[in-house]
Amino acid sequence: MSLDTMHELFVQQLKDLYSAESQLAKALPKMAKGAANEELRAAFEGHLEETKMHVARIEEIFEAESLGGSPRGHKCKGMEGLIEEGSEMLAEKGDDSVVDAGLIGAAQRVEHYEIAGYGTARAMAQLLGLSKAASLLQQTLDEEAAADEKLTHIAERYVHAAAPQTAEAAGMQK
């Protein structure tokens, strides 16, 4: 695809976000299953429902703004890598709270990636005068920021405090 206009770049960015959200929708159930902390598990399950809405919103943008074609057909390599990192964390053995802290870190990297993508796409939509798209993208951007804040709250309130802070606290010898 040739990128000669901001409109073409906007469409490419939406396809990238669509792929990212679709990949995340497949990964979140595994993260929920792997979380030991109930609040963290519930957060992953709740975000799965939001993620499905995010996918539907991008489809709605393609329709509402007459962007032509489909949001499918592109693979977001950034999200692929972030999900792989999360999968590696799921495979780790150790204290449940420490692994949960690692899962939160992996999930927050995903959220920050999405926040950057949605902020960029929203700015492009505004530039192009696509007010419906800008509004829908802002809605998703707000939800991604709230998900990030929720993960921070769970980490600080429940997970980090429960995790052994040192090898000695975990009953391990140096």
Residue 164, pLDDT above cutoff 90? no
Residue 33 CA to residue 55 CA, distance in Å, equals 22
What are the backbone angles phi and psi of residue 68, rounded to the nearest 5°?
Answer: 75, 145
* pLDDT tens sequence across 33-69: 999 999 999 999 999 999 999 999 999 999 988 887 8
Closest CA relative to residue 104, chosen from 119, 120, 85: 85
Mean per-residue pLDDT over the chain, rounded: 93
Q: What is the pLDDT of residue 174?
A: 47
Q: What is the pLDDT of residue 101?
A: 96
Answer whether 25's CB lies under 8 Å from 81's CB.
Answer: no
The token duo for 166 is 């040192």
Look up the pTM and report it: 0.91
Closest CA relative to residue 70, chosen from 79, 78, 61: 61
Residue 155, pLDDT above cutoff 90? yes
CATH number for the domain formed by residue range(s) 6-69+77-161: 1.20.1260.10
pLDDT band per the 50, 70, 90 thresholds, residue 167: low
Mean pLDDT along residues 82-97: 94
Residue 161, pLDDT above cutoff 60? yes
Residue 163 CA to residue 143 CA, distance in Å, equals 28
Q: What is the pLDDT of residue 160?
A: 87
**Residue the block writes with tokens 């598990």:** 41
CA distances from 96 to 32, 36, 117 (A): 13, 6, 31
- Chain-centre distance for alpha carbon 42: 15
What type of residue is 82?
L
Residue 98, pLDDT above cutoff 70? yes
Domain ranges, ordered by start, for the chain: 6-69+77-161
The distance in angstroms from the start CA to the end CA of the chain is 55
